[in-house]
Amino acid sequence: MCQSHQDDAAYPPLSPIRAGWKGACPRCGEGKLFNGFLTLRDHCDVCGLDYSFADPADGPAFFIICFGCVPCVAFAIWLEIAFQAPYWVHVVTTLPILLLTCIPPLRPLKGWLVASQFFYKAEEGKLATPDEP
C-alpha cells in the first residue's frame, strides 16, 4: 500500500458533495481547495493532500451550459417571440438571469467534481496489454 493511501485511511470518508460545495479539502474537510475563484491550490494547507490528481477539465462548464444557459436562452427566445421585446429589455432581464445561473455555480461544481475524483479514486484510464494479468 502506498503512502498516500495509508494517509487516506487516517481520515474518515467525506461526502464529495458536501466537501466540494464548501470548497474544502476532499480528504480532511478543513483545508481550502481553491486559491482564488476557480484556481485549485497545489496542496491542502491542513493535511498536505497533493491536488495534482484533480482534473475536472470542462465538466463544470458543461453542467452550467446544460442546466443554466439552455433554460436562460429558452427564456430569452420566449420573451422575444411572446412580446417582441426591445434589446434593453433583454439586457435588463435576460443578462442578469444568465449571469446568475452561470457564474455562481461554477466553483461549487468544480469542487464537487474534484472531491468526487478523490472519493472514487478516479484516474486516467489505461489499456491493459495481453502480457499483464
Quote the pTM value: 0.84
Lowest mean pLDDT: which of 11-20, 75-84, 103-112, 121-130?
A: 121-130
What separation, in Å, do the N-terminal and C-terminal C-alpha atoms of the chain show? 19
Q: What is the mean pLDDT of residues 102-112?
A: 96
Evaluate if residue 125 carries a pLDDT over 70.
yes
> With contact defined as beta carbons under 8 Å apart, do 32 and 40 qualify?
no
More confidently predicted of 41 and 10: 41
**For the chain, what are the domain ranges?**
9-119
Lowest mean pLDDT: which of 8-12, 18-22, 109-113, 114-118?
A: 8-12
